C-alpha cells in the first residue's frame, strides 16, 4: 500500500467523497477485543485514560490512524491533565510510509494537538517530554509546501530522544519510523545495497526488538524495512511473532505475509491474510465507518489471492478475488479508478493461473470506466483462446487488448508500478503464447523473454505488480518442445526470485527428470514440493496450464 497513490486517496476519502467519518473524536471511540496486552505507562491519574491510551498505541502501530485518534481523544477526555494522549493525536495525524503527505485539515489538527501536549509537558516524565518535543518539531500551521525540513527536524529530534533513552522500545521504534518516512519504500537498490539511512533504521529497530521482542510497532516496521532486501529472512521471527501478537488488528495480522512470500512460505501467507480479513470484518461490524483503513482490508484480499495462486489453493484464491470485486464500494472504485482499479481484475489472473479457460470466456465485460480491468479481460480471453487452439479468436482479442491498453492514462498505477509498465507484460504473454500455438516457437520464446525483462524491471511490491511469473509460461512451453536445459535455467532463475514456489519447483523437477540429471536433487525437490503444496486443492503437472501437452 504505497506512496502518493494512497496519499491522494486518503485526501479524497476525508473530503467526504466515500465515507463520512474522518473526524475522529472521543464520542465515537470503542474498546475492541483482540488488542493484546501492550502497555506503556503514562503520567495520568485516570486508569481509563491509560486503558484508552494503550489501545490507541496498538491501533497506531497497526496503521489504523483514524481509530487511534478516537482512542487518544477518549484518553484525553478521561484525564484532561495528561499530556501523552495529545502527543498520540498529534503523531497519528502525521505522515506514514503509505501516506507521506498531509492535508491542510490534518496539519491544523496535528499542530493543535502538539500544542496541547506542550501545554501539559510539566506533568510528563522525561521520555514523554522527549516525545512531545519531537512531535512538536514535526508540524507547522499553516503547513509549508515542502514539508521535508519538518520531517528532517522530527527525525533529528527523535534521534536525540533515542540517544537519551536507548532502553525505551517505543522511542527506538518511533525513531526508526521517523527515518523510514524520509525515504518511504526506498530502502534498498536492486542489488540489495542499503540506500540513504536504511542501516540506521535497521539498527534502531533491532535495538527496539532487543529490548522488547514482542513490540508490535518494532516488528511491523522491521518487516517493512527489510522485506525488499537481499536478506528478508532476518525478519522471519518478527513475522511469526506478529501473526498472533495483536489478533484484533487486521493489518498487523496481515504483515507477516510480506516476509512469508519472500522466504517461500506462501501457504502461511494465505493463512495470515485470511486471519487478517476476518479480524477486519469483525472490526468493521462494530466500528464507525472506515476511511483510509478500508484500503488495507482490500490489500489483504488482494494479497491473499496472490499467495493462494502461488501455493496451488484455487478455491482460496478465487474466493478472495471475488470478495474483493464484490466488497469494493462502487462509488469509490469509480471515483478513484486511477488509483485502485488495477487490482480489481484479480479474478481473471486467478483463472489464468489455474487454466480455467472456458470460465474466462464466460466472464462479462466490465463497465467502461474499468479501463485496466477491460484490458486484462482481453488479455485473459486471448490467453484462453490460444490455450484452446482458437488462434483466430486469440488474435482478435490481442487487437482488442491493444486498443484497451492504449486507453489507460499514463498516470494510472497498480500501487508502486505504473500501469504503463505492467500491461506490456500482458502484451508479451499474449503474443508469445499465440505465436507458440501458431508454431513460431523461437519467435514466441523471444517475445516471452521480453516479457520477463519487463517483469524484472518492475519496482518492488507485494503482491508484485504482475501476479503470474512469465517464467512459468516460458518454462512450460520450452518443456513441451523438449528444450529441457533451457527450461531448467528458466526455473532456476524463477526460484531465485520467487523462492520455493510450487510452480517453479515442479518445473525444475520436471526439467531435471526429462534430462535424467541430478536424480538426488530431483528427489529433494519432491520434499520441497510436498511442503509447497501442503494445502493445495490443485496439483498441476506443469508450471503453466498454457502447456496442456506437458500436464
Domain ranges of the chain: 35-246
Q: Answer whether CATH 2.20.28.160 is correct for domain 35-246.
A: no
pLDDT digits (tens, 9 = 90+) for 241-266: 999 999 999 999 999 999 999 999 99
Q: Which residues contact 80 (CB under 8 A, 6 or more apart)?
A: none
Contact present, 190 and 179 (Cβ < 8 Å): no
417-418 and 413-414 beta bridge pairing: antiparallel
How far apart are alpha carbons 325 and 134 in whole angstroms?
42
**Among 164-173, 178-187, 460-469, 541-550, where is mean pLDDT lowest?**
541-550
Q: Which residues contact 465 (CB under 8 A, 6 or more apart)?
A: 414, 415, 416, 417, 421, 422, 458, 459
The pLDDT value given to residue 335: 86
**Among 32-46, 139-153, 375-389, where is mean pLDDT lowest?**
32-46
Average pLDDT for residues 412-434, to the nearest whole number?
Answer: 97
The pLDDT value given to residue 336: 83
For the chain, give the percent of residues with pLDDT over 90. Answer: 89
Longest Cα separation, the chain: 80
Reading the block at residue 498, the C-alpha cell is 520467487
pLDDT at 205 over 80: yes
pLDDT digits (tens, 9 = 90+) for 262-275: 999 999 999 999 99
- Chain center to CA of 306: 11
Strand, helix or coil for residue 528: helix
Q: With bands split at pLDDT 50, 70 and 90, how would you rate the model's confidence at 301? A: very high
Q: With bands split at pLDDT 50, 70 and 90, how would you rate the model's confidence at 21? A: very low
Strand ranges inside 412-454, DSSP E: 413-414, 417-418
Q: With bands split at pLDDT 50, 70 and 90, how would you rate the model's confidence at 548? A: confident
Q: Which residues contact 332 (CB under 8 A, 6 or more apart)?
A: 18, 340
Strand, helix or coil for residue 140: coil
| pTM metric for this prediction | 0.95
The CA-based angle 332-335-340, given to 5 degrees, is: 65
Reading the block at residue 92, the C-alpha cell is 497519528
Strand, helix or coil for residue 417: strand
Task: Kindly report the average pLDDT of the chain as a whole number.
Answer: 95
Q: With bands split at pLDDT 50, 70 and 90, how would you rate the model's confidence at 10? A: low
Amino acid at each position: 500500500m504505497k506512496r502518493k497513490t494512497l496519499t491522494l486517496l486518503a485526501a479524497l476519502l476525508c473530503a467526504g467523497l466515500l465515507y463520512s467519518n474522518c473526524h475522529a473524536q472521543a464520542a465515537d471511540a470503542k474498546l475492541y477485543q483482540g488488542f493484546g496486552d501492550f502497555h506503556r505507562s503514562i503520567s495520568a491519574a485516570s486508569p481509563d485514560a491509560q486503558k484508552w491510551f494503550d489501545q490507541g498505541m496498538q491501533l497506531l502501530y497497526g496503521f489504523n490512524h483514524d481509530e487511534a485518534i478516537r482512542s487518544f481523544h477518549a484518553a484525553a477526555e478521561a484525564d484532561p491533565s495528561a499530556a501523552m494522549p495529545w502527543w498520540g493525536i498529534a503523531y497519528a495525524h502525521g505522515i506514514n510510509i503509505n501516506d507521506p503527505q498531509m492535508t491542510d485539515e490534518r496539519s491544523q489538527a496535528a499542530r493543535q494537538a502538539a500544542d496541547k501536549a506542550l501545554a501539559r509537558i510539566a506533568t510528563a516524565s522525561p521520555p514523554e517530554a522527549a516525545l512531545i518535543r519531537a512531535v512538536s518539531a514535526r508540524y507547522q500551521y499553516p503547513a509549508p509546501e515542502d514539508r521535508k525540513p519538518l520531517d528532517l527536524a522530527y527525525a533529528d529530534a527523535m534521534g536525540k530522544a533515542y540517544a537519551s533513552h536507548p532502553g525505551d522500545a517505543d522511542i527506538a521504534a518511533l525513531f526508526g519510523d521517523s527515518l523510514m518516512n524520509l525515504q518511504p519504500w526506498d530502502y534498498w537498490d536492486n542489488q540489495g545495497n542499503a540506500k540513504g539511512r536504511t542501516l540506521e533504521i535497521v539498527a534502531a529497530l533491532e535495538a527496539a526488538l532487543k529490548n522488547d521482542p514482542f513490540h508490535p510497532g518494532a516488528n511491523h516496521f522491521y518487516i517493512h524495512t527489510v522485506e525488499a532486501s537481499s536478506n528478508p529472512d532476518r525478519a522471519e521471527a518478527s513475522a511469526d511473532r506478529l501473526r498472533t501478537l495483536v489478533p484484533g488488528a487486521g493489518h498487523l495480522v496481515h504483515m507477516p505475509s510480506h516476509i512469508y512470500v519472500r522466504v517461500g512460505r506462501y501457504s502461511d501467507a494465505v493463512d495470515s491474510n485470511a486471519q487478517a480479513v476476518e479480524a477486519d470484518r469483525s472490526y468493521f461490524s462494530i466500528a464507525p465507518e472506515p476511511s483510509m483503513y478500508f484500503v488495507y482490508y482490500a490489500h489483504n484480499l488482494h494479497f491473499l489471492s496472490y499467495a493462494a495462486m502461488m501455493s496451488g489453493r484455487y478455491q482460496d484464491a478465487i474466493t478472495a478475488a471475488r470478495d474483493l470485486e464484490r466488497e469494493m464500494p462502487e462509488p469509490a472504485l469509480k471515483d478513484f479508478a486511477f488509483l485502485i482499479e488495477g487490482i480489481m481484475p484479480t479474478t481473471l489472473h486467478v483463472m489464468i493461473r489455474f487454466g480455467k479457460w472456458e470460465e474466462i470466456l464466460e466472464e462479462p465485460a466490465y463497465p467502461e470506466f474499468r479501463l485496466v480491468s477491460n484490458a486484462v479481460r482481453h488479455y485473459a480471453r486471448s490467453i484462453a483462446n490460444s490455450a484452446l487452439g482458437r488462434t483466430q479468436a486469440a488474435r482478435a482479442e490481442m487487437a482488442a487488448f491493444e486498443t484497451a491498453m492504449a486507453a489507460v492514462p499514463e498516470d494510472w498505477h497498480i500501487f508502486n508500478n505504473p500501469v504503463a509498465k505492467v500491461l506490456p507484460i500482458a502484451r508479451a504473454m499474449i503474443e508469445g503464447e499465440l505465436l507458440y500455438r501458431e508454431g513460431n516457437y523461437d519467435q514466441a520464446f523471444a517475445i516471452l523473454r521480453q516479457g520477463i525483462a519487463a517483469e524484472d524491471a518492475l519496482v518492488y511490491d507485494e503482491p508484485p505488480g504482475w501476479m503470474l511469473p512469465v517464467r512459468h509460461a516460458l518454462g512450460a512451453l520450452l518443456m513441451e518442445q523438449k528444450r529441457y536445459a533451457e527450461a531448467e535455467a528458466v526455473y532456476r532463475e524463477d526460484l531465485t526470485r520467487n523462492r520455493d514456489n510450487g510452480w517453479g519447483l515442479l518445473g525444475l523437477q520436471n526439467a531435471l527428470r526429462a534430462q535424467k540429471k541430478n536424480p538426488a536433487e530431483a528427489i529433494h525437490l519432491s520434499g520441497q514440493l510436498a511442503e509447497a503444496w501442503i494445502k493445495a486443492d490443485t496439483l498441476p503437472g506443469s508450471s503453466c496450464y498454457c502447456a496442456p501437452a506437458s500436464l
